[in-house]
Amino acid sequence: MTNLIIGASSEIAQSITRQLLSSGEVVHGISQHPQPAQVPHDQNLHWWICHYGESHIEQLVESLQETITEPISRVVICNGQLHGDGLVVEKRLQDLQESSFHQIINSNALVPLLWLRALLPWLSKQECKIAVFSARVGSIEDNKLGGWYSYRASKAALNMLLKTAAIEYSRRAKKIKLMAFHPGTTDTPLSKPFQANVAESKLFEPEFVAKRLLEIMESLHIDGELSYLDWAGEPIRW
Ligand SMILES: NC(=O)c1ccc[n+]([C@@H]2O[C@H](COP(=O)([O-])OP(=O)(O)OC[C@H]3O[C@@H](n4cnc5c(N)ncnc54)[C@H](OP(=O)(O)O)[C@@H]3O)[C@@H](O)[C@H]2O)c1
């Protein structure tokens, strides 16, 4: 089977890639970074650089389409930012910063949607499952703690964009299944500064989450709906 892994340098994406390669599958990894040393060189792995501007995504999808002759069975979109250079993780309203908000909305919500736009014409006749990394903090009903205004809003926005895209895909790409996925708190650079109060048993290894994601994708039926599921395969309230 042939897979597209977008945001492929993410720690979880690297684990997904390793697991797929070890099963003999073909992976096209797409990232703004060169192939990480932890991802093995393998004849079934093709690494593409993308800087996620809309024209760059469109051009890259054209190149992928010209290069890949076999159908795409899975797409996994891993992009997401919570903290980093110039980004503020708000504890209260006074922490909110316009530029940080725009950046987080862009990488968590807009970039995945640009990929769904670019992929639709190519995948419209194919049977394919698409997983996009959301987060439980994107659930409005589940928000009991507050804080993290930009990240929460970006994942809630992502969920709405995916729901709307699932409706359009069900009309124009009838054999595609979409899932918004919450990996659980996973030991990656994204969660590193926030792990202090997480019980050891609740902090997952990327390899575990990658395995769960692939098992859950396998079990999904093509029903024209967006599923919002966690690592255990349990639905999350919107
Ligand atoms: N770790 C957790 O506890 C946790 C919990 C809930 C949800 N998630 C979600 O899981 C996904 C994977 O994250 P991770 O934990 O594996 O973190 P990570 O290792 O920090 O990965 C970061 C991801 O974001 C992408 N990215 C970074 N800067 C970007 C930018 N400016 N524009 C677009 N994309 C950018 C990276 O793509 P490149 O390969 O191009 O750099 C990579 O895919 C994220 O969507 C995150 O929100 C994680």
In a domain? residue 32 = yes
Ligand 1 pocket, residue 81 CB under 6 Å: yes
Ligand 1 pocket, residue 139 CB under 6 Å: no
In a domain? residue 73 = yes
Q: How far is CA 100 from CA 25, 154, 221, in A?
A: 38, 11, 37
Interval between CA 12 and ligand 1 midpoint (Å): 8
Report the C-alpha gap between 189 and 178 in whole angstroms.
Answer: 26
97: three-class secondary structure by DSSP: coil
The tens place of each residue's pLDDT in the chain, 238 residues long, gives: 999 999 999 999 999 999 999 999 999 999 999 999 999 999 999 999 999 999 999 999 999 999 999 999 999 999 999 999 999 999 999 999 999 999 999 999 999 999 999 999 999 999 999 999 999 999 999 999 999 999 999 999 999 999 999 999 999 999 999 999 999 999 999 999 999 989 989 999 999 999 999 999 999 999 999 999 999 999 999 9
In a domain? residue 236 = no
In a domain? residue 235 = no
The crossing angle, in degrees rounded to 10, of helices 206-219 and 11-22 is 60
Which amino acid is present at 33?
Answer: H
In a domain? residue 158 = yes
Report the C-alpha gap between 30 and 8 in whole angstroms.
Answer: 5
In a domain? residue 106 = yes
Domain coverage including residue 226: 2-230
Report the C-alpha gap between 70 and 104 in whole angstroms.
Answer: 34
Count up the domains in the chain and report the number: 1
Ligand 1 pocket, residue 176 CB under 6 Å: no
CATH of the domain at 12: 3.40.50.720
In a domain? residue 20 = yes
Interval between CA 108 and ligand 1 midpoint (Å): 8
Ligand 1 pocket, residue 13 CB under 6 Å: yes
The crossing angle, in degrees rounded to 10, of helices 98-105 and 149-172 is 30
| Model pLDDT, residue 95 | 98
DSSP 3-state helix, strand, coil percentages of the chain (rounded to 5)? 45, 20, 40
Interval between CA 156 and ligand 1 midpoint (Å): 16
Report the C-alpha gap between 142 and 144 in whole angstroms.
Answer: 6
| Helices marked H in the chain | 11-22, 54-67, 98-105, 111-123, 149-172, 206-219
In a domain? residue 238 = no
Ligand 1 pocket, residue 15 CB under 6 Å: no
Cα-flanking dihedrals φ and ψ of residue 200, to 5°?
-55, -40
How many C-beta atoms surround the C-beta of residue 79 within 10 A?
24
